[in-house]
């Protein structure tokens, strides 16, 4: 592990020892571990993985867990597999991804996900609990996150519960930023997700973000980039240099994060052909609105209590920096974390920040702690208009 700025990213971890002991906590800059006794979701299961983490499941185990992969248990589908809700023999609810066996792609995605997140633990990453290798079958078993994903809360099925407040959106995006900072800067080799989008940000019952779906992830050494002739990702979220030349590095994820942040601010899809031509592409529309000095009009109208002017400007400035066409000018994700946590506007650039004296830094940190405390009591959801249904977080 590399040293990592604890002020911008708490090194939260969970792991399962070979004796079945499950530990969870936070590791500070000194390396001290504050251990919590947390029951393992894998306790009582028979086979510990030979890979040194998680569990190996038989195909029969997972058929039993999912009622023979019943259609009633399908909770998601993609180009490379189907995700089922399941329950293990110890009662733990899980999500089981059954990879489609299409010309070796299932094997490739299986290996990528296992290598990318098999050993890493972070509170804002979906936990990979185990796997199944049996014949041509490749299955992955994850913790079950039951509260939908960001796309559903912004545009779809979860809106009947209510609309996300500004505070909830920023909490989800901050958690996402911390997880990406961890993947890019705290582990070696670094992990470039390559498919950051709102539907891949799951939300737990406390409205914490959980990044999921590492099937397109790429592992890169320090300072390395990757050139590919086959661009992978989702239209509307892909960084321009990656789409145009196949150049992939962590700044590609930074761009995609900027699109998701903008999506959360505006409540709009990244690409919407149902809108007038100047508004079809969300990034282009934002730049047009900023250029016309109408930036305050981009806020999602379903947000009943609007953010302060300073909070909105801070979020939009962070967004624009992430969306810079020049990838070298985009911030790192740890810088994005500091931007989102900052109470200052305009946000100081890194050079200016380094020139600040220690007293100023301590004062900013104190303000941040106060801000986090003040916002914790604010409601996560607001009641949907013309509805009597209210959901409390």
Annotated binding site: 98
253 is catalytic: no
Burial of 130 (0-12, 13-18, 19+ CB in 10 A): buried
- N residues, the chain: 393
CA gap 259, 15 in Å, rounded = 32
Sheet holding 36-37, edge to edge: 11-16, 22-27, 36-37
Q: Which of 61, 195, 213, 253 is catalytic?
A: 195
Nearest to 1 by CA among 173, 174, 122, 142: 122
| Binding region for ATP | 98
The string of DSSP codes covering 314-343 is HHHHHHHHHT-SSGGGSPPHHHHHHHHH--
Distances (CA, A) of 139 to 56, 73, 100, 129: 10, 15, 9, 11
Q: Is the peptide bond preceding residue 189 cis, with omega within 30 degrees of 0?
A: yes
> Which residues are known to be catalytic?
195
């Amino acid at each position: 592990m590399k040293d990592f700025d604890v002020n911008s990213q708490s090194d939260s971890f969970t792991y399962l020892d070979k004796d079945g002991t499950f530990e969870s906590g936070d590791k500070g800059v000194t390396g001290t571990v504050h251990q919590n006794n947390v029951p393992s979701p894998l306790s009582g299961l028979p086979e510990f993985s030979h890979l040194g983490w998680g569990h190996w499941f038989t195909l029969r185990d997972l058929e039993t867990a999912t009622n023979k992969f019943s259609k009633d248990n399908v909770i998601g589908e993609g180009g490379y597999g189907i995700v089922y809700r399941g329950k293990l023999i110890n009662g733990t609810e899980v999500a089981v991804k059954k990879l489609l066996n299409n010309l070796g792609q299932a094997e490739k995605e299986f290996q990528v996900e296992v290598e990318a997140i098999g050993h890493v633990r972070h509170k804002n990453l979906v936990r990979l609990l185990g796997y199944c290798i049996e014949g041509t079958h490749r299955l992955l078993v994850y913790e079950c996150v039951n509260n939908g994903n960001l796309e559903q809360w912004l545009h779809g099925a979860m809106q009947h519960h209510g609309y996300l407040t500004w505070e909830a959106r920023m909490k989800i995006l901050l958690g996402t930023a911390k997880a990406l900072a961890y993947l890019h800067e705290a582990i070696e080799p670094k992990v470039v997700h390559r498919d950051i989008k709102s539907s891949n940000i799951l939300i737990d019952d406390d409205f914490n973000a959980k990044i999921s779906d590492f099937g397109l992830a790429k592992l890169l050494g320090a300072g390395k980039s990757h050139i590919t002739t086959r661009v992978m990702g989702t239209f509307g979220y892909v960084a321009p240099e990656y789409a145009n030349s196949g150049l992939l590095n962590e700044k590609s994820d930074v761009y995609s994060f900027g699109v998701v942040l903008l999506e959360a601010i505006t409540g709009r899809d990244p690409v919407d052909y149902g809108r007038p031509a100047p508004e079809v592409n969300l990034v282009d529309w934002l730049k047009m609105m900023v250029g016309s000095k109408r930036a305050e009009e981009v806020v999602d109208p379903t947000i009943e209590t609007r953010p302060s002017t300073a909070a909105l400007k801070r979020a939009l400035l962070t967004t624009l920096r992430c969306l810079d066409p020049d990838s070298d000018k985009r911030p790192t994700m740890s810088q994005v974390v500091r931007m989102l946590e900052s109470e200052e506007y305009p946000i100081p650039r890194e050079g200016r920040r380094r020139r600040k004296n220690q007293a100023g830094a301590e004062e900013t940190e104190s303000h941040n702690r106060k801000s986090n405390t003040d916002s914790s009591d604010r409601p996560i959801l607001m009641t949907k208009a013309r509805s009597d249904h209210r959901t409390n977080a």
